[in-house]
Structure 1
């Protein structure tokens, strides 16, 4: 399950990780308006960050990837704030039953999201398995090349609203005891990263999208936000281009 695949054009694929048993070509049309959705791989730090970037700039998918030579795609990621071009093909991990295993466009095949995740696995880790460990701030830095600030003291809704309106990408991370905190979607998952997509300065409510179910918006009050989340990470500038 840890083997790599070398495609016909000479482009290397990362080693497989948990939940994947093989590869299959994704021939679906790319729909970069679709939100990213996390698969069985525990790389919420990448997918939630990608979801936050897409929320701040719906055209982000067009900035991140472009057609490469042959049947490849060129994904622009960042290392120490410098752009790095990563070439990948569209062979994507599948389960033993042949279902798509990892990140994909919400309600669809891997598409543009799978391409970006595959590039991140290859460039950042060399393996999907290793990609299953990381922090939200790292995901934002890899995807945007912008400085990222971590807030261990969670900011008020008024500040979050201001940053979102300015086009900053924001994620929030839960902690090991977060399942004790209940929300309208049930207990919060432990050690999980979500995209912050809205905040109400009047009520103090914060709105989030979970990369497991990105179509839904989770709204929490200020107390629940403080109890259920450990930290907030944000780009210090807009991600819009």
Structure 2
């Protein structure tokens, strides 16, 4: 299997490129619209054809490239079935593997950051989205997030995976690229094994994070699989510049 980890610095998002060497099919996990030209260039450089985009959840900090990639190269849009997105071609459910050539993703419903959040297990790798970050986790104060639920998702689903499974998150803000289940169980300051549920809830309640500056545009846009709204404030136009300049509209 061909594997690349790609970083989009504006939203500090990791996009993952998976390629089947037998069929030439490629998957992009959590693609970002401002970086779609880079992603397509990498797919082509590797001699692959983009067959699918897969999102872990409805993002609040960037616009997914799923729709624009479908318009540009015909890739199919794959998303959690829980979110009932009419624009998705394929809805994923836990217990039903998703295959592209020799690549087989095992969807894991890991709600808590959002109610429809999924992680994807691929052999010795797990793509954890925002449910589990390196030494952290996604916030739980919007999009039907819930600290109790996230704690259960991480401790009962992700932390029960083999300890040498590599953890690839959707974001990192400190130039870190990968962790392991063992490392997160041991030292994650929010969700590690030393933390009780009550302690985790206190931590999350005390974060006092600012209201996400792009959420009011990103969430409705991502419910349409990646549509940038018109009339964006000037300071937020950079989040959609790729789509604004796109010949597809």
TM-score (norm 2): 0.26
Q: Which structure ranks higher in relative contact order (CA pairs < 8 Å, sequence separation ≥ 6)? A: 1
